Amino acid sequence: MKPTGTDPRILSLAAEVAKSPEQNVPVILLKLKEIINDTPLGSSELKKIKQDIYCYDLIQYCLLVLSQDCSRIQGGWTTISQLTQILSHCCVGLEPGEDAEEFYKELLPSATENFLILGRRLQTCFINAAKGEEKDELLHIFQILTDSLFWLLGGHVQLIQNVLQSDHFLHLLQTDNVQIGATLMTLLQNILLINSGDLLRIEGKILHSILDEVVFKLLSTPSPIIRSTATKLLLLMVESHQEILILLRLSACYKGLRNLLNKQETGTEFSQQLSQLVDLLSPKTYKEVEEQKLHQAACLIQAYWKGYQTRKRLKKLPSAVIALQRSFRSKRTKKLLKLNREKEEEAIRLRLQLQRQRAMRLSRELWLSMLEIVHPGEVEKYNREMEEKAALIIQKHWRGYRERKNFRQQRPFLTEYKAAITLQRAALKFLAKCRKKKKLVSPWQGLQELTDARRVELKQRVDDYVRRHPVSQMSDVASRELHAEAQEQLQHYFMGRALEEKGQQHREALMAQISTNIEQLMKAPTLNEAEGKEPELFSSRSRPVAAKAKQAHLATLKHIQAPWWKKLGEEPGDEIDIQKDEISVELGTLFIGGTKPP
């Protein structure tokens, strides 16, 4: 969907690009630079122009041109450098709208990859160039290309990780040319200043390759520009990430790096940065960094733990408050109950004390009254009797206490005795049941043996029974005849049973056929409703049935055709005589049992 209110310059430029041949498209796209430069920077009009450029696919045309061979483009590297500037300026600050996913996931990564590929092509051309002016021009174009890439990365920080992980960027960084190497390291330094966190998100192998190349350029390149840039870049990487500092300090690949840095020349422009880097790589500084890192880790763990504990306490606070209130109330209730109980006990104790005092006072009063009543000569006798009664009461209480104590001591033995009695009673019952079952199963075991007199008596009784009931004797011939007769009767019975079963099956089949015919007749349609061959389905296979049906049919026809005066004396149940000739003639042409008439 094309936006409304589009700038006419964009419309004319898009139309011109669509109509022009392929070789003229790059030069036409350069007009976008004038349109962008004429618009105030940061204004809403510039955003609208960038949206129009993207909607009319002019940015995609720029990408297509940058992916082509520079020798086929009119203007060569100059045109390409201007198109990179146009592309980076159009992509930064652009709001793609509905096509945001395609813009961020396809177009921007493709643009950064094309920039790096163009950088490698420029590097090759720069190495192959012979003249100094040509090299200066190519270097200037390379600087424009890196500036455009940095502008694009500044507007879209998520592309930094794509650039750092690209093989083209690593190849560009590994160049031996001083100017290109310094430009690439300056670009890397500016990228880290924008967002240094992406450096640790890349793969470890790529990170090691970048560090190796920076350290190599710092130690082996005689150019002070490369060394200065490499020192600043390495110092920035170390200060930004302690992991890189630990890697440079502990890795075997960088063993002796501090000693090699100490041998570098002093008094140069980057000597201050070099000394800072050496100080960072020193054991003391490394130890401080490790301690600081451990301190930060400990603080972080403590913070997480305290936060977890605080959240846990806050989560349990309502239940804790409820439990605290419940505990306080229960303690208060128990305390009040205890105070009330103590008060009640104190009141009871005072009441008992008063009762004892009252009883003692009454007993003394009674004693005095008794002394007044008793004769002086019988006082000793009375005292003796009272002492005996008191002694008896004391003895009674003491004996009761002793017996109760003995009973409590003997209670376990009594419990065991009762348990033993219960077990013995259950065992005796079980054994009695077992003996009873044995008697029921084998009663003969309890019978007494037969005596000789009893045996003679039983034998005499058996002989008398045999004598009173003699067995009839039968000869062998009679036995064989009786056997043959029995076999013949048995055979006759089996043959008759087979015929009877066959007849029963035939009768059952006829009954089933009759039931089916009755059911069909009940469901038969009337003559008005019958169609086609439906009447033929109800023809009978039995000749008597067909004859009877034909007779009834002819009688009904004859009754219908007879004049009215012949029907005056007839009853509904009277039969009409039908001549046998009519019936036989009709039967000759009947359809019976599904066969066709001859």
How many other C-beta atoms can be found within 10 angstroms of the C-beta atom of residue 146?
21
Q: Is 589 part of a structural domain of the chain?
A: yes
Asked if residue 583 and residue 555 are part of one domain, the reply reads yes
Q: Are 29 and 61 in contact (CB under 8 A)?
A: yes
Q: Is 548 part of a structural domain of the chain?
A: yes
% of the chain beyond a pLDDT of 70: 74
Residue 336: pLDDT band (50, 70, 90) is: very high
Report the number of distinct structural domains present in the chain: 2
Q: Are 119 and 174 in contact (CB under 8 A)?
A: no
Asked if residue 590 and residue 547 are part of one domain, the reply reads yes
Residue 375: pLDDT band (50, 70, 90) is: confident
Q: Is 205 part of a structural domain of the chain?
A: no
Round to whole Å and give the CA distance between 586 and 555: 13
Of 241 and 87, the one with more pLDDT: 87
Q: Is 550 part of a structural domain of the chain?
A: yes
Asked if residue 519 and residue 548 are part of one domain, the reply reads no
What's the pLDDT score for residue 588? 39
Mean predicted confidence (pLDDT) in 61-65 = 76
**With 80 as the cut, is the pLDDT of residue 459 above it?**
yes
Asked if residue 598 and residue 551 are part of one domain, the reply reads yes
What's the pLDDT score for residue 597? 38
Q: Which of 85-89, 129-133, 359-363 has the highest mean pLDDT?
A: 359-363
Q: Is 203 part of a structural domain of the chain?
A: no
What's the pLDDT score for residue 582? 53
Specify whether the backbone of 42 is left (phi greater than 0), alpha (psi in -120 to 50) or beta.
left
Residue pLDDT, tens place only, 250-288: 554 555 455 556 555 554 555 555 655 665 566 555 555
How many other C-beta atoms can be found within 10 angstroms of the C-beta atom of residue 285?
15
Asked if residue 584 and residue 554 are part of one domain, the reply reads yes
Q: Which domain holds residue 595?
A: 542-562+576-598
Round to whole Å and give the CA distance between 446 and 454: 17
**With 80 as the cut, is the pLDDT of residue 427 above it?**
yes
Asked if residue 555 and residue 507 are part of one domain, the reply reads no
**With 70 as the cut, is the pLDDT of residue 193 above it?**
yes
What's the pLDDT score for residue 69? 72
What's the pLDDT score for residue 261? 61
Q: Is 129 part of a structural domain of the chain?
A: no
Q: Is 558 part of a structural domain of the chain?
A: yes
**With 90 as the cut, is the pLDDT of residue 337 above it?**
yes
Q: Are 249 and 286 in contact (CB under 8 A)?
A: yes
Q: Is 582 part of a structural domain of the chain?
A: yes
Residue pLDDT, tens place only, 123-165: 777 777 666 677 777 777 777 877 877 777 777 777 777 777 7
